[in-house]
With several copies, the nearest count.
Chain A
């Protein structure tokens, strides 16, 4: 089922002695380590056992932990995601794989009306320590129903936490943090990142939840991204650096909670902001980021915040149309240049 993934630059390794592994391997390693560490961690999902997962994240885990802890489910997203909620209520720590975020719509009542509500609605009597792992992303020619980026829906919901790792190291440390957290956490993966490589510490690292990261420090303009777009932003920043333009990259890392302060502090310094996001423009993740900057850094902005997002269409299968509908490095570069020109930036 796994389709060829579009080329995305890999994480920088400069001056880092950690082993270089893929984003896929990093997720696998985090699952394996947490399952070894805590018996109550179980995996549920379609084809995660014998088939080793549609994107092979769970390869080998069935052999190591057996069919009770690596549980293949029927095609019944609402059923098995809801079952994970109930198991969590009794003290298990289920990690559910939803093959792609598009299929999470079948389970969204359980995720939003149940997982996100049970702790608060019942007055804090039972936490829901569960993780939902699911990849989003277009660009694989999977057509309209299999190429969506709907993370903004989940990021809008109190009671959920939504993490979006961009690098293999973050994938591992954020998945570890998600598994140990006592709330329902949606870990957003990305089809086009699974094969990307980067240095990942072998020892345990638990990422802080709710913090954005400055992945490139700069002074002239801020680019905000997450997941795949944070990787592209970093790459573009490096290209501009070569041309003497100092771009700061904010990797949101956590979509909920949202680290508004880190975003605004960066823009207070640079005075200019461009947001790169894979989802549709209107009411997308970037809308909140732009609104946040426009309010929080109002007095510091030299130009309007710009958003680079997907064209608002059901994504066509045809490569010729898919390519132009999705945001990419070129579009980001173009808009950054427009921003620099608009503010009379000297090169």
Chain B
């Protein structure tokens, strides 16, 4: 069932406008978001002696191969994460992108290094596609100090300030107001234009029913914010269907209450997603028009790794397996002569290697030291901040003897 990918030792987002990059990155201030390492668009070296349709322009081919490489890396990473959870290397909640790979890759390909993204807790794939080292992502899942959030966030809370990946959030809808505020901040930075920055706010279908969705989209509309709200429609909350949860189940139409344009696309072809997202981002950048993009996709397994999804019928389960976008995309590329079977196999083998390395890296990373417990409670240290451990007296023994600090 798993796809397999060749690729660099770290996952790379595909850029729709590589040429714009340097220009865009000029705008960036205070260290944040300088062009992330490994975000230049990738050139796959053709495997020797493979037969191929040479009519395809190279750049275009590279893009398709890049998508496939991303998708297979995410697929391998998620399968491994599931395995690591059962081996108790990962704890808490763990939600996977299995079945959503093409959606994730297509969407992330439309972001520039200078754009910002907020996501929900089902975000491993987005992090990888944003160029975070698989090893550091896995280390976060393991709760280790080399994790992208220092081991403090875990699977649901990946973050990378440098890459402008402003977090996975576990409270449903919780990411929407902050993402909206990030877009508000951009309006103080500069004028709209083809090189300006924008924000992407990812969320699930079930999330469109919560108040924060309404309040935030309304703010984006009246303030003309450069943000694209992306609804990943995998058909379910946990087991609740979109139809059962939403008065208007055509979720892209829900922009109507704010005069926000909505678009729906199928998620199985990354090119289609990439293009739709890019156009929405263009409107945000150049016209300061918020957008609502709905992407139809599949959740191949349960809501989280511990959910056996018994509520699904055998038929549904089989239908889902048939719809798996990763093998489908592999077949498409081979059929279109973009890649040979040998090349896809090589790419897949490479993904496995990357993920195995990621696990090895995570495993070797130390747990955060006890001495760091209070390190990140406040950014500005002030007097009398409580650093008591369970059972400590509220004031240190003999405090009343010393003179007051």
A and B touch in the complex (CB under 8 A): yes
Interface residues of A (CB under 8 A from B): 1-4, 40, 42, 46-47, 50-51, 54, 68, 71-92, 94, 102-103, 106, 109-110, 113-114, 118-129, 140-146, 158-159, 161, 181-183, 208-211, 254, 257-262, 264-265, 268, 281-282, 292, 295-296, 306-314, 316-321, 324-328, 331-332, 334-335
Min distance, Cβ A75 to any Cβ of chain B, angstroms: 5
Asked if B341 CB lies within 8 Å of chain A CBs, one says no
The complex places the Cα of A274 from the Cα of B169 at a distance, in Å, of 37
Other-chain residue from B183, B246, B384 in contact with A259 (beta carbon distance below 8 A): B384
Residues of A within 8 Å of B370, CB to CB, are 320-321, 324
Interface pair A86/B181, CB less than 8 Å apart: yes
Within 8 A of A (CB), among B139-198: 143-145, 147-154, 156-157, 159-161, 166-167, 169-174, 176-188
Other-chain residue from A50, A83, A281 in contact with B240 (beta carbon distance below 8 A): A50
Asked if B42 CB lies within 8 Å of chain A CBs, one says no
Min distance, Cβ B114 to any Cβ of chain A, angstroms: 12
Interface pair B390/A311, CB less than 8 Å apart: yes
Interface pair B311/A82, CB less than 8 Å apart: no
Interface pair A85/B383, CB less than 8 Å apart: no
Name 14 extra pairs, CB < 8 A, besides A124-B379, A261-B405, A264-B400. A1-B304, A46-B240, A51-B303, A83-B216, A85-B177, A86-B166, A109-B171, A123-B150, A124-B376, A158-B377, A209-B383, A254-B384, A257-B384, A320-B143
The complex places the Cα of A168 from the Cα of B229 at a distance, in Å, of 44
Asked if B92 CB lies within 8 Å of chain A CBs, one says yes
The complex places the Cα of A122 from the Cα of B376 at a distance, in Å, of 9
Min distance, Cβ A67 to any Cβ of chain B, angstroms: 9
Asked if B368 CB lies within 8 Å of chain A CBs, one says yes
Asked if B380 CB lies within 8 Å of chain A CBs, one says yes
Quick one: CB contact mask for B35-68 with A, threshold 8 Å, 1 for yes?
0000000000000000000000000000000000
Within 8 A of A (CB), among B329-363: none
Residues of B within 8 Å of A94, CB to CB, are 181
Quick one: CB contact mask for B213-255 with A, threshold 8 Å, 1 for yes?
0011011001100000000000001111000111000000000
Which of chain B's residues has its CB closest to A264's CB? B395
The complex places the Cα of A74 from the Cα of B144 at a distance, in Å, of 35
Interface pair B92/A119, CB less than 8 Å apart: no
Interface pair B376/A51, CB less than 8 Å apart: no
Interface pair A74/B240, CB less than 8 Å apart: yes
Interface pair B385/A122, CB less than 8 Å apart: no
The complex places the Cα of A210 from the Cα of B378 at a distance, in Å, of 13
Interface pair B218/A183, CB less than 8 Å apart: no
Min distance, Cβ B371 to any Cβ of chain A, angstroms: 10
Tell whether A79 pairs with B212 under 8 Å between CB atoms, given A113-B174, A123-B376, A124-B379: yes
Min distance, Cβ A139 to any Cβ of chain B, angstroms: 10
Residues of B within 8 Å of A331, CB to CB, are 389-391
Interface pair B218/A79, CB less than 8 Å apart: yes
Other-chain residue from A89, A120, A254, A327 in contact with B391 (beta carbon distance below 8 A): A327
Interface pair B170/A146, CB less than 8 Å apart: yes
Interface pair B171/A103, CB less than 8 Å apart: yes
The complex places the Cα of A82 from the Cα of B167 at a distance, in Å, of 14
Asked if B315 CB lies within 8 Å of chain A CBs, one says no
Interface pair B207/A320, CB less than 8 Å apart: no
